[in-house]
Amino acid sequence: MVQTARGDSTTRPRGRTVGIVLAVLTTIVLVFFARRIVTDWPSIVAGTVPDDDLAEKYVAHPWLAYGHMVPGVVYLLGAPLQLSHRFRSRHYELHRRLGRVLLGCALLSGALAVVLGFVFAWGGRAESLATLLFGGWFLVCLVRAFRAIRAGRVPEHRRWMVRAYAVGIGIATIRLWVGIFTGIQLGLLGMSDETMPARSTFGLAFWLGLGMHVVAGEWWLRRTPDLDG
């Protein structure tokens, strides 16, 4: 009993900390998604070409770009609810139905992310390779999770869903790394805003952001072996 109480006392603060971090990362995703809409859609509606060469690629392929982003945002908003033990235990039928929707959104978003990584990788080959590797891992996690739940292996299903969500929310950390590199280049190298962020650091941000999240996901699974708790 003492060991259980001690475990609860250490797990709950850690869970709250992770919850705060995920809330911040989700907010970053929403801010950049809103910024993307504000930047792209005036040009999409008017049929004009924006000055920003990054925005130009989104405007040139709006169905592909927003076919990735919209379901991706839906998935990232719904996944924490699905992973919540309280929500699963109190609303199991809704959990199952919502899970089907979110799985479809995640598969579509992940598949299009891989396509986007080759159609217009603004960060060059580094971004393309990172998108292929981590986007492929994201899809593998989703498929493994689906196969596990179909076979009734619930703990395995949840572990694969944790892995999928961990790398999915990594898109926010990519933006943090882009901001860090931009600040370094502006402050130390004296580059102008017009050149920011550099394409080379944009690709590196993908590797750092997504790689960190894959490692963090595995760390969380090792520290939290009982996902039903």
Supply 222's token pair: 């090792």
pLDDT at 11: 53
- Helix, strand or coil for residue 38? helix
pLDDT at 1: 35
pLDDT mean values, one per 10 residues, the chain (229 residues): 42 72 95 92 86 80 92 96 89 93 97 89 87 96 96 93 96 93 72 56 92 94 69
Quick check: is 46 in a domain? Answer: yes
Write the pLDDT tens digit of every residue in 168-194. Answer: 999 999 999 998 888 887 766 555 555
CA-CA distance, 208 to 130, in Å (whole number)?
Answer: 9
Quick check: is 91 in a domain? Answer: yes
pLDDT at 195: 46
Range of the domain at 68: 2-223
Quick check: is 228 in a domain? Answer: no
Question: Count of domains in the chain?
Answer: 1
